[in-house]
Amino acid sequence: MSIVQVNVQGLMVDPYNQAYVVLLRDEENSDLLPIWVGKAEANAIGLAMEDVTPPRPMTHDLLHSVIDTLGARTLSVVINDLHENTFYAKVHLLRGDAEVTVDSRPSDAIALALRADCPVFVDTKVMEKSQGDREQAVEIEKWLENLKPEDFASGE
């Protein structure tokens, strides 16, 4: 498996269906991976991006705390598959000398990665599959170029 590191570039609301989209971009800024996420996950991702700690822990904060309390740490997140328009991810943990891999939805994994300050990777095959429709990818790039600040979700 070949992977590429990505950064969470932003979080926005899709103006066509009002769904939330997390935008991942590779470190060379050449490939963009939009992943549609639920409202709760978008909220968690937005808060983590803005470095806001809620007064009570959200699910992703709880998971991060449980991992720490058990003496483990989150090494990385890998978005490892795309099947029938559904993305799949794995969370890689280290406890002692043992690495443990846990299945996850990408939105949950990204929210955890932001809280744990660990890298996010995408399998290159996933990136290729998502870029399969080049016309759609070009349309998304143009759409992103024309965004205004109010188009981005605030995480509220």
Give 22-78 pLDDT, tens digit per residue.
999 998 877 889 999 999 899 999 999 998 988 998 888 999 999 999 999 999 999
DSSP secondary structure string for all residues of 8-48: EEEEEE-TTT--EEEEEEETTS--EEEEEE-HHHHHHHHHH
Instruction: Record the pTM.
Output: 0.84
Per-residue pLDDT at 149: 56
Q: Say which amino acid occupies 123.
A: D
pLDDT of residue 156: 44
pLDDT reported for residue 17: 84
Structure tokens at 29: 């800024």
Cα within 13 Å of Cα(49), Cβ side: 21
* Mean pLDDT across 106-132: 93
Residues in the chain: 156
* Buried b / exposed e along 55-71 (16+ C-beta atoms within 10 A): eeebebbebbeebeeee
CB of 123 closer than 8 Å to CB of 3:
yes
Phi, psi of 26 (to 5 degrees): -70, 165
CATH fold group of domain 3-151: Bifunctional nuclease domain (3.10.690)
Domains of the chain, by residue range, sit at: 3-151
